[in-house]
Structure formats: structure tokens, C-alpha cells
Amino acid sequence: MEGDNVSNAFVVRSLDEIRFWSRIMKEHSLFLRLGFRCEDTQLINEANHFYATFESIESRAQAFSAETDPQIIQRFNVEVHTAVSHIWVFKRKVLGLILTCQLIGQNNFPLLLDHTSREAFYFRNRLEQLNAGKLDPLPDAIINENVFFLRIMADHAKFIAHLLDPSERKLVDQAREFSDDFDKLLFQARDLDSMRPQSQTAPLLDQFLDQNRVSVQSLRDFKKTARDLIEACRIKSIIHPLLADHVFREAERFLFIIDMFENALTGKPVTNIEGSH
């Protein structure tokens, strides 16, 4: 019976990660494609190929359920892992082309390539951990996930600041403030990381989560407002509405993870992780 619960938890966690991140990978393919020059047909084809791959993974993940045989999910995880490795290589290749000025005039920031490749690396690592049955112990997971996501949030604030029209002065200022705030939080997280394992006390980790949550909530609200304004064509920017929604969903994901850690630290029951979409 206990074995059943463990395998059920493995299936539920795997599907939760794949449903969230395969959609993210699919959207990265779209954003990268939109930034390429029209003569870069090879890169455009590769991006389209990744879009189709992750779209298919996404719909297959939706078709599985908590009752699916864990062995099927184990094989699915391996297959998704391969696809994620390939998109990681693609993103790093494009980063190399941009940094050596071989794609003059294309519109993707180098930091966007690095950022989306870090997200792919994170996803790939999570699939490896799930299949190996080796998730980080809670105190390590808390620091690792926060270091990862705080940097992601700091990058988002920078992207927003740079993609808003320069005439949207108030919004650009707000985005820059978020960028500074998250840079500071990231440095604090790295300090806590370097003070491991002595820093991994319950009160310090709890305070760390509380402080990060406050900032992520306000960034999440800012992204939501920006998304709504962009969708309603009320502000000037070169932000695709889907990109605005994409970064909003990533903030929601971080908040969900913070809450899951908080519950685990304080011994409260963990809410259903399938409710995170």
C-alpha cells in the first residue's frame, strides 16, 4: 500500500512538472522564432520543430493521469528528458551565434537565450531526479530552488524594463525597481547558500521564504497588470501578450513552490500539487 502511494506520488509529480514545463518550452520555441531574421530559415525550422515536439509532449502529459502505470511514466520522463536536452543545445547554439555577431539584426537578447536555457536545464535536472528517486532533502531544496527562481525573476524584471517602450517611463522605473529588489534577494540567497549547512535552521529558512514570498507576490501582481494592459492594448511595448502571460505563470509557479516548502517546514498538509496550473 505504501509502495502504491510512493509510485502514485512519482506519477503525480512527474506529470505536474511535465505539464508546466513542456508548455514553457513550447512557448520559448515561439519566442525565439519570432526574434529570428526571415532569412534564418534553418533556425526557424528548428524552432518550429521544437514547438511541435513540446506541443505533442504537453498533450500526451494531459492524457495521462495519477493512475497511469509508473513504468510508463518513467519511460515518458526519459523521452521528455531527451527532447529537453536537444532544446537546451539549440538555445546554447543560438546564444553562441548571437555572441559572435553571426545573427546581426535578430531580436532575441543574449540573456533571453541564457535564461531559457537555464529553465531547460532545470526541467531536465528535475526529470533526472524524479527517475532516480532522488529529490533534494528539504533544506537543500529550499535554498536551491530559491537561488534558481530568484535569478529567473530578476531576469524577467530586466526583460520587461527593456521591452517596454522607453516612453512608458513610470512602468520602466517600476520594472527596474523589481530588478534591483530581486538582484538583492538573489545575493542574500547566495549568502545563505554559502553558509550551508549551518544556515539551514528552521527559523532562518522560514524567514527566507517569508521575505521572498512578499517580493514574488508583488512582482506577480505587476506582471498580471502588465499582461492585462498589453492584452487590452493600453500600453506601448514590444512584449508579446503570450510572453507577458508566460512570465506571470512562472512567478505563480515560484509562489506555489514557496508555499509547498512553507507547509513542509511547518508540518502543514501539502496542498494538491495538481492545483498549480
Q: Whose Cβ is closer to Fe ion: residue 15's or residue 113's?
A: 113
Long-range CB pairs of 243-246 (<8 Å, 24+ gap) are: 243/27, 243/31, 243/163, 246/24, 246/27, 246/31
- Residue 194, all three cell numbers: 554559502
Q: How far is the CB of 222 from Fe ion (least distance, A)?
A: 15
> Least distance in Å: CB of 121 to Fe ion?
12
Cβ atoms of 88 and 121 closer than 8 Å:
yes
Whole-number minimum distance, CB 29 to Fe ion, in Å?
11
Do residues 91 and 70 lie in contact, with contact meaning Cβ atoms separated by under 8 Å?
Answer: no
What cell numbers appear for 74 in the block? Answer: 518513467
* Touching Fe ion, residues 194-253 (CB under 5 A): 250
Nearer to Fe ion, 148 or 208 (CB): 148
Closest CB to Fe ion among residues 11, 80: 80
Size of site (CB under 5 A) for Fe ion: 3
* CB of 46 or CB of 119, closer to Fe ion: 119
Shortest spacing between CB 257 and Fe ion, in angstroms: 14
64-123: contacts with Fe ion (CB under 5 A): 119
Q: How far is the CB of 67 from Fe ion (least distance, A)?
A: 30
Nearest to 31 by CA among 109, 103, 95: 109
Q: Which residue has the cell 501582481?
A: 221
Contacts 24+ apart (CB under 8 A), 43-51: 43/94, 46/90, 47/90, 50/25, 50/26, 50/83, 50/86, 50/87, 50/90, 51/26
Site string for Fe ion, 11-50 (x = CB under 5 A): -------------x--------------------------
* Residue ranges in contact with Fe ion by CB under 5 A: 24, 119, 250
